[in-house]
Homo-oligomer: A and B are copies of this chain.
Amino acid sequence: MSQQDRQLKQVLMLENLLHANELIAKRINERLSRSKTLLINMISSPGSGKTTLLEATAKALGEEMHIGVIVGDVATQRDYERLKTCDIPAVQIVTGSECHLEAAMVEQALNQLPVDELDAVFIENVGNLICPAEFNLGEHFRVTLLSVPEGEDKVLKYPHAFRTSDALIVTKVDLLKHLNFDVGLVKDYAKSLNPNIHIIAVSAFTGEGMSEWLEMIRMWRKEAFR
């Protein structure tokens, strides 16, 4: 097979895969909309603080909302074990070599959660700023995290995740005093790609920005199920 044929076949394969994924994503979205369970897909690089933000979110929401979590990882159950200690229902997906979650994996995981009793389910996607952005998981809203140590330019260097997200959470802002990082510049970059994106600067460590993040979750619940 020539290289061109191989590339053409790959493209067709991918289109097929994405089409099948869209069908399952639609089914997930309809199912969760029926039970009024908000589904949020969280994307970021490895180590940007998805698990830490989820731990702080579970703690802060307490009895106000019943939440569940689906955790995607290439290997290990470490994040799952961290989240289980928050006393919320959690399901781990170990993808093996897959660099992203797909809707079929999420649908299976949802079967292991008491969805009808939950107000919101957070999906912690595999740590990767590129591939997960291609796959609709049936989410009502998508969030991409960028941590301060990664640098402002990552918004422009990995545009697809930010372009397709409803919110950008700038994490680890307690490190701003030690690093050269301009939150205003990140906002400009993100708005240039996606004028409607919400941007919140958060430190799960000091609690800065957490109330704004929680308020957005409440607003999204109203918006999704009005």
Contact = CB atoms under 8 A, between A and B. Distances in A.
Interface of A: 1, 3, 6, 9-10, 13, 16-17, 20, 45-47, 73-76, 78-79, 97, 99, 104, 126-131, 134, 147, 149-151, 153-154, 156-160, 172, 175, 178-179
A150 B51 CA distance: 12
Given A73-B157, A128-B128, A157-B75, A150 B99 contact: no
Question: This chain: how many copies in the complex?
Answer: 2
A172 B179 CA distance: 11
Given A78-B157, A131-B131, A6 B16 contact: yes
24 contacts: A3-B104, A6-B20, A9-B13, A10-B17, A13-B13, A45-B46, A46-B129, A46-B154, A74-B157, A74-B159, A75-B156, A75-B158, A76-B156, A79-B157, A97-B134, A97-B160, A99-B99, A126-B130, A127-B129, A127-B154, A149-B172, A149-B175, A175-B175, A178-B178
A99 B132 CA distance: 10
Contacts of A47: 45, 147, 149-151, 154
A127 B157 contact: yes
A43 to B, nearest CB: 12
Contact of A3 (B20, B75, B147): B20
Given A99-B131, A158-B46, A78 B153 contact: yes
Contacts of A149: 47, 147, 149, 172, 175
